[in-house]
Amino acid sequence: MIGAGFLGMEVASACAARGIPVTVVDTDRPLHRILGGHLSAAITARAAAHGIRFVQATGFAALAGNPVHGVALPDGTELTADLVVTCAGEVPCVDWLAGTGLADRLGVGVDDACATTAPGVFAAGDVTYLRGNATRPHRRAPFWSNAVAQGKTAAASALGLPPSGPSQDDYFWTEVAGLSVKIVGHLPLLGEPTTVDGSVTEGRALLTWTHTDGTATAVAYGRRKPITALRHLAATAGSSTPGGRSETNHPASAGSSL
Ligand SMILES: Cc1cc2nc3c(=O)[nH]c(=O)nc-3n(C[C@H](O)[C@H](O)[C@H](O)COP(=O)(O)OP(=O)(O)OC[C@H]3O[C@@H](n4cnc5c(N)ncnc54)[C@H](O)[C@@H]3O)c2cc1C
Q: 222 in ligand 1 pocket by Cβ < 6 Å? A: no
The pTM assigned to this predicted structure is: 0.83
Q: What is residue 21's three-state secondary structure?
A: coil
Ligand 1 atom closest to Cα of residue 87: 1
Buried b or exposed e, range 176-187, using 16+ CB within 10 angstroms: bbebebbbbbbb
**Ligand 1 proximity of 143 Cβ (cutoff 6 Å):** yes
Secondary element (H or E) of residue 41: helix 32-49
For a mutational test of ligand 1's pocket, the pick from 1, 10, 90, 126, i.e. the residue with the most ligand atoms closer than 8 A to its C-beta, is 126
Q: Is the pLDDT of residue 177 over 70?
A: yes
pLDDT of 240: 58
Q: Is 126 in the pocket of ligand 1 (CB under 6 A)?
A: yes
Ligand 1 mean position to 124 CA, how many Å? 11
Which is the closest atom of ligand 1 to the Cα of 150? 26
Q: Which of 91, 143, 169 to mutate to test the pocket of ligand 1 (most atoms within 8 A of CB)?
A: 143
Ligand 1 neighbour 125 (Cβ under 6 A): yes
Q: Does ligand 1 come within 6 angstroms of the Cβ of 96? A: yes
Instruction: For ligand 1, say whether the CB of 258 is within 6 Å of any of its atoms.
Output: yes
* Residue 254 pLDDT grade (very low, low, confident, very high; cuts 50, 70, 90): very low
Ligand 1 centroid–CA 149 distance in Å is 14
For residue 10, give the H/E element and its range: helix 6-17
Which CATH superfamily groups domain 6-80? Answer: FAD/NAD(P)-binding domain (3.50.50.60)
Q: Cα of 194 to ligand 1 centre, how many Å?
A: 33
- Cα–Cα distance, 33 to 188 (Å, whole number): 7
C-beta 108 within 6 A of ligand 1: no
pLDDT, tens digit, for every residue of 105-116?
999 999 999 999
What number does the ligand 1 atom closest to the CA of 143 have? Answer: 19
Residue pLDDT, tens place only, 114-145: 999 999 999 999 999 999 988 888 988 898 99
What phi-psi label fits residue 203: left (phi over 0), alpha (psi between -120 and 50 degrees) or beta?
A: left
pLDDT at 103 > cutoff 90 = yes
Q: Report the CATH fold assignment for 171-240.
A: Enolase-like; domain 1 (3.30.390)
The segment(s) of the chain belonging to CATH 3.50.50.60 are 6-80, 95-158
Nearest protein Cα to ligand 1, atom 24: 125
Convert the pLDDT of each residue in 6-31 to its tens digit. Answer: 999 999 999 999 999 999 999 999 99
- SS percent in the chain: helix, strand, coil, step 5: 25, 25, 50
The widest CA-to-CA distance across the chain, in whole angstroms, is 59
227 three-state secondary structure: helix
208 contacts 230 by C-beta, under 8 angstroms: no
pLDDT of residue 134: 85
Q: Where in the chain is the domain with CATH 3.30.390.30?
A: 171-240
Write down the architecture of domain 95-158 according to CATH.
3-Layer(bba) Sandwich (3.50)
Centroid of ligand 1 to alpha carbon of 199 (angstroms): 34
For residues 187 and 250, what is the distance between their CA atoms, to the nearest angstrom? 8
pLDDT, the chain, mean: 90
Closest CA to 22 of 82, 62, 67, 68: 82
User: Is the predicted pLDDT of residue 253 greater than 70, yes or no?
Assistant: no
Alpha carbons 160 and 149: distance in angstroms, whole number: 17
CA of 126 to the centre of ligand 1 (A): 6
